[in-house]
Amino acid sequence: MKTIRCHQINDDISTISLDEVDIAPPGAGEVQIRVMACSVNFPDVLMIQGKYQFAPPLPFAPGGEFAGEIVAVGPDVDQFKVGDRAVAGARYGGFSELVNAEVQAVKPVPPGISFEKAAAYQTAYLTAYVALTIRGSLKAGETLLVHGATGGVGLAAVDLGKHLGATVIATGGTDEKLAVVKARGADHVINYTLPDDSLGGFREKVKELTDGLGADVVFDPVGGSVFDESMRCINWNGRILTIGFTSGVWPKAAVNHILIKQISVIGVRAGEIGRRDPELGERTRRELYQLLENGDIDPHICAAFPLEKAVDAMKMLTDRKVVGKVVVTANGYTPS
């Protein structure tokens, strides 16, 4: 089979290579999946660069969520059969034509769902789902402010926020990207890089859109001044969900604002919740899968690259040109 592999840790992701290797038959508790689509995520890049908290043994193929067809099953596997459409998660290995996946990490691809959408929903939507439902307790009728709304996690938050009945205000850096977010359901979009705005200059616009009250829930994967300005356009008893710091700056919360408006600043680590509380983690994954199966969520795929151009797919992500998700395809699969 063909696979993209990293042979040495390097900041330059273009040093990975397209290799041809043999793959063993699936062992006990495994199925072998012919990969059609694999989602591209920042951890794929960080692992190559040696900057991620988990370091796979060298050489390794990036790719942690993928979908395709089962072509072989292990000797003790009876819940899947050859020919089944399947989506699976792993720490790495998905940038390959074939993957042996542990059966507990495999689910059927729901009818009517494409391989690329199945491959793209797990990581981004799990973060958004845990943030909005478990940590943020978002309610129908509330106003949700989503920063970084053009990225994979941000667009998932927009999608889920609308499903949960919220009015969604989305911020981003270009009109072109925000047009996609608007078309995907956001009620209002704000470009915070326009000449008459400073970074974080969304504050007054959010107040205007909420009759001066501010947002009830803020979804913030950006941090820095975006967090600071969010503290000034949040409603009484509001919740700021801290997802990450793509700005590269860790903000310092103004405790006087937290006190005066009775704000909650809430950290979100979706994966850690599942590790510390496996039952809750399994329940959230099950509920999220049900949303996909019912058509209540709809991952947006902006681009697809064949396996041999996986570097281009990752560079599109690192260059912040992705709206929603980008995938790598294999075995001649062409997204619909």
Q: How far is 159 from 33, CA to CA, in rounded Å? A: 29
CATH of the domain at 172: 3.40.50.720
Residues 169 and 77 in one domain: no
- What sign does the dihedral 195-196-198-199 (CA atoms) show? negative
List the domain range (segments joined by +) for residue 159: 123-272
| Whether residue 106 sits in one domain with residue 58 | yes
What is residue 102's predicted lDDT score, i.e. its pLDDT? 96
Write out the two tokens for 179: 């047009």
Report the pLDDT value the prediction gives residue 252, as an integer from 0 to 100: 86
Q: What is the CATH number of the domain that holds 96?
A: 3.90.180.10
Instruction: Note whether 135 and 225 are same-domain residues.
Output: yes
> Is the whole-model pTM more than 0.85?
yes
- Which of 71, 105, 16, 87 is CA-nearest to residue 307? 16
Alpha-carbon Rg for the chain in angstroms: 20
**pLDDT averaged per 10 residues in sequence order, the chain, 336 residues:** 97 96 96 98 94 93 97 95 96 97 96 96 95 96 97 96 98 93 96 63 90 96 89 95 85 87 93 89 93 95 97 95 96 92
Cα–Cα distance list, 218 to 207, 265, 266 (Å): 13, 9, 10
For 137, the enclosing helix (H) or strand (E) is none
How high is the pLDDT of residue 224?
A: 86
SS3 of residue 78 by DSSP: coil
Q: What is the pLDDT of residue 238?
A: 97
